Structure 1
């Protein structure tokens, strides 16, 4: 269930509920305004990584704890 939650965050706009705005949409807006698409999408990718890595580690810890 934890992996499905993480996939849901990465693959949909549920992040809009979590973070208050959709990161990919904002990345598109910034990329079109500044014409620096690489920088905008790298920042968006980094933010997704910051959000999903702790969730992934927590789910791994929880699965190990429940398996014991």
Structure 2
């Protein structure tokens, strides 16, 4: 099995600097995925209902590819 270089562990101090935002489609209900776009070169993603829970971090390229597939 090949190693995936698109998903990387994110050090906790780096996440302390994250500016999280939710999709405008969530309607402010808090039932959505939040993304922090201010941490170069990673895009951390978390569940808005569990802000202290696990975080997935994608490379910018992997995140763009993911969004392209959603469209």
**TM value normalised by structure 2:** 0.25
Larger radius of gyration: 1
Instruction: Return the structure number with greater relative CO, CA threshold 8 A, min gap 6.
Output: 1
Q: TM-score, normalised by structure 1?
A: 0.26
As a proportion of its length, which structure holds more strand? 2
Determine which structure has the larger helix proportion and give its number: 1
